[in-house]
Amino acid sequence: MTSLRMDAHKSVLVMVDFQERLMPAIADGENVLQRAGFLTQVAQELTVPTIGTAQNPGRLGPNLPPVGDRLDVVVEKMTFGGGAGGLDSALYAYPDRPEIVVAGCEAHVCLLQTALELLESGAHGRRVWVVADACGSRHPSDRDAAMARLRQAGAVVVTAEMVAFEWLHTAEHPSFKAVSRLVKEL
């Protein structure tokens, strides 16, 4: 039976397009970026590899801190989905990590198409979790529609804190106190 819970040792975090010129247009963008930064910080604490994408970085700029400064690799792309832009190649560097936790902007465009591509490649044993509170669009209705569509397509929609505590699994984890401090800062 496949586990229904995320495992830090089997996960890769994919952060889609938290870019300089895009984030100011995102509804509640400051909070979305804060949740995304929390995710990248927890991933760093638990040594979960973190891959970022950057849509047309020459026009939209780099990924913003606190996301951009914690990415292990950035895949630059012109396509809305990340696969053709090199995300699949970046993920192949982690064959023992079939669990993909993904967050990003715009939720109904680049995040949606990237997550759908990841779901389509499920034949490689991948499972996909989408972190709803670390995803944003210019209009909340677009974000909500993207979450509903991804749920229907087979993604598991979660929150940033759900990810953190499932990755920890127990209060006896050596990083429990550090992650708990990060939660309190949210």
| 140-151 average pLDDT score | 98
Global model pTM greater than 0.75: yes
- Looking at 22-26, 70-74, 122-126, 137-141, which range is the least confident one? 122-126
Quote the tokens at residue 102.
């993904």
What is the CATH number that goes with domain 12-185?
3.40.50.850
pLDDT of residue 84: 66
* Residue 59 CB coordination number (10 Å): 9
DSSP lists the bridge partners of residue 11 as 99
When the pLDDT of each residue in the chain is averaged and rounded to a whole number, the result is 94
Annotated domain spans of the chain? 12-185
The SS3 assignment for 112 reads helix
pLDDT of residue 186: 86
Residue 94's nearest CA partner among 3, 6, 163, 12 is 12
Q: C-alpha 105: how far from its chain's center?
A: 10
pLDDT of residue 175: 96
Q: How confident is the model over 29-83, as pLDDT tens digits?
A: 999 999 999 999 999 999 999 999 999 999 999 999 999 999 999 999 999 998 7
The SS3 assignment for 86 reads helix
Determine what percent of the chain is predicted with pLDDT higher than 70: 96
- Rounded Cα gap, residues 117 and 130, in angstroms: 13
